[in-house]
């Protein structure tokens, strides 16, 4: 598990020290640096000269501190990457910004055990999981979206391609093509399949997971991702970092899982603030806010709001 991540000179992240929990939720206004943090976490993110802090810094420095030690990476855009120290491999990070339209696309049939960044190979991933996993996946999806009783992959008229299909709850002979089902259904299918990826990544980052989801489903999604992050589902624990603007999502996360992002008034660099969940002052404050992170955040008393 990545316990902390320090990044210097990457985009708006002049010097950011981020403590990570199994499930971490980044909250902040537009432009606060959430996407930059997600990009920086992934060692494989390609770095351009304009990614340097204020276009003037010389190198980007990142340090991942994991259970087993530290991994340091120094990147000078345009220069050859300096090899990492032997025995210190950076965590494998999967960055997702799932897009229902891409997730609906037909796939050229091939084995795929990792979901693509926008979910473009979802049909292949669903087709590649084991029969038992596919049954589980269908059960989970259909309990969340009870319009359906099964999800499967079916060949299309275009040779060598297949796509997802969803079985109607009231008429078992009726199967819906991806274009006929909601964005939320597509997204949930993508989120559910994450537990079956092989090999699992060390960490998954997800931008705006709340898009197109009903608040009830959002709660289910957060619970599923938390279980994934704790190793309660899936092949092993996969850390998860979410970036969101959604007050609804905040209702379902724990205070200690949230990091509020903002900008420093002096130099505009991204700042991060965690909730001191065990502090008696916090507990009194949180009690007054009826233990609602949504309310506390929207009041502006925790940072991570526009204008900050």
Partner 1 sequence: MSLRVVVYAEGPGETGGSAGRKAPGQELLDDELGAAHVLVRRCLSRGDLIPAAAVRFHEPLRTPAGHVARGSDLYNMRTLRKLLTWFRAPPPPDVAVVLVDADGERSRKSTLEDGTRTVSQAKVIGVAIQEFEAWLIADHVRVTEALGAPFATTRDPETMNRREAKELLAQAIASAGKGPHNVRRTIAELCDLDVVAGRCSAFADFRAELLQTALAAQTHFRQ
Kindly list the residues in this chain that would bind partner 1 in the complex (CB under 8 A): 247, 262, 273, 281-282, 285, 288-290, 292, 294-296, 298-303, 305-308
Closest distance between partner 1 and the C-beta of residue 248, in Å?
Answer: 12
Tell me how far apart the alpha carbons of residues 292 and 215 are, in angstroms, rounded to a whole number: 15
Closest distance between partner 1 and the C-beta of residue 273, in Å?
Answer: 7
Q: Which residue number, 227 or 294, has a Cβ lying nearer to partner 1?
A: 294
Tell me how far apart the alpha carbons of residues 18 and 8 are, in angstroms, rounded to a whole number: 11
Is the separation of the CB atoms in 42 and 31 below 8 Å?
A: no
Closest distance between partner 1 and the C-beta of residue 247, in Å?
Answer: 7
Q: Which residue number, 85 or 288, has a Cβ lying nearer to partner 1?
A: 288
Q: Which residue number, 175 or 282, has a Cβ lying nearer to partner 1?
A: 282
- DSSP string of 231-266? TSSSSS--EEEEEE--HHHHTTS-GGGEEEEEE-TT
Strands (E), the chain: 2-10, 13-19, 23-27, 60-66, 69-75, 93-96, 107-108, 148-155, 161-168, 175-176, 203-207, 239-244, 258-263, 270-274
Closest distance between partner 1 and the C-beta of residue 262, in Å?
Answer: 8
- Retrieve residue 301's tokens: 């008393």
Q: Which residue number, 155 or 300, has a Cβ lying nearer to partner 1?
A: 300
Q: Which residue number, 228 or 302, has a Cβ lying nearer to partner 1?
A: 302
- Retrieve residue 237's tokens: 């624990």
Compute the Cα dihedral for 284, 289, 290, 292 and give only its sign: negative
Closest distance between partner 1 and the C-beta of residue 288, in Å?
Answer: 4
């Amino acid at each position: 598990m990545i316990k902390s991540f320090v990044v210097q000179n990457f985009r708006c992240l002049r010097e950011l020290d981020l403590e990570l929990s199994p499930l971490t939720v980044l909250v902040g206004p537009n432009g606060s640096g959430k996407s930059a943090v997600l990009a920086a976490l992934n060692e494989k993110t390609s770095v351009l000269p304009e990614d340097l802090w204020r276009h003037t810094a010389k190198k980007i420095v990142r340090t991942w501190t994991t259970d087993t030690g530290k991994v340091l990476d120094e990147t000078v855009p345009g220069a050859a990457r300096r090899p990492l120290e032997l025995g210190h491999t950076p965590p494998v990070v999967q960055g997702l910004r799932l897009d229902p339209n891409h997730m609906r696309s037909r796939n050229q049939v091939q084995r795929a055990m990792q979901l693509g960044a926008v979910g473009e190979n979802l049909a292949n991933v669903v087709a590649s999981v084991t029969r038992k996993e596919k049954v589980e996946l269908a059960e989970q999806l259909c309990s969340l979206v009870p319009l359906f009783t099964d999800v499967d992959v079916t060949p299309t008229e275009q040779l060598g391609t297949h796509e997802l299909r969803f079985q109607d709850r009231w008429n078992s002979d009726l199967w819906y093509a991806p274009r006929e089902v909601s964005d939320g259904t597509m997204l949930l299918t993508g989120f559910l399949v994450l537990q079956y990826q092989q090999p699992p990544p060390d960490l998954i980052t997800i931008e705006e997971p709340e898009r197109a989801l009903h608040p009830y489903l959002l709660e289910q999604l957060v619970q599923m991702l938390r279980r994934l992050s704790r190793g309660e589902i899936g092949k092993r624990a996969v850390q998860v970092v979410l970036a969101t603007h959604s007050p609804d999502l905040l209702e379902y996360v724990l205070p200690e899982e949230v990091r509020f992002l903002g900008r420093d008034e002096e130099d505009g660099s991204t700042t991060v603030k965690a909730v001191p969940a065990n502090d008696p002052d916090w507990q009194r404050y949180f009690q007054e806010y009826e233990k609602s992170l949504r309310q506390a955040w929207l009041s502006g008393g925790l940072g991570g709001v526009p204008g900050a």
